[in-house]
Amino acid sequence: MNEIIREKILRNLETNSRIDLHDLAIMLDCDEVDLVNEVSKMEQEKIICGYHTLINWDNTSKEIVTALIEVKVSPQRGIGFDVIAERIAKFPEVTSCYLMSGGFDFMVLIEGKSMKEVARFVFDKLSTLESVLSTSTHFVLKKYKDHGVNLVEKKKDERIMVSA
């Protein structure tokens, strides 16, 4: 399949991973078998890395604290940032880990049951890694948009219209 169709497949799956591949083939005007084979090929190539459900935990009774942690490290000669990133990413609390440009090296996103649990993770696990020079933790207070999805509904104007 050509790159344009491949990108359209990816965009559609990114927006709705539950889309029926038969319906997607119709939408993209391509053969269903070819589309299924292409999706399988992209999974094997690790272009498609997983299928996730986005949950707005604020609308549930479960308490989850999300934190973004800026991490400065001292990269090791010959191995750079990759080994450090792999060590950080292995922690079960870590949901994402990104190498960044700017004033710090990594942005680490974690989830915990409480601020105290997040603080304990930073203090006991993250900051004790040999290459970590410093951390700065930011707690997410409210999510408005996540993975391209608006999480907050626009409030309706319920005022009564008055005319003179």
Question: 56: pLDDT confidence band, cut at 50, 70 and 90?
Answer: confident
pLDDT (0 to 100) of residue 140: 95
> Edge-to-edge strand order for the sheet containing 94-99?
94-99, 106-112, 65-73, 132-139
Q: What is the mean pLDDT of residues 68-94?
A: 93
Q: What is the mean pLDDT of the chain?
A: 91
pTM of the full predicted structure? 0.78
Main-chain dihedrals φ then ψ at residue 26, nearest 5 degrees: -65, -45
Residue 93 in tokens: 């609390």
Q: What is the mean pLDDT of residues 136-142?
A: 96
Predicted confidence (pLDDT) per residue in 140-156, tens digit: 999 999 888 888 877 77
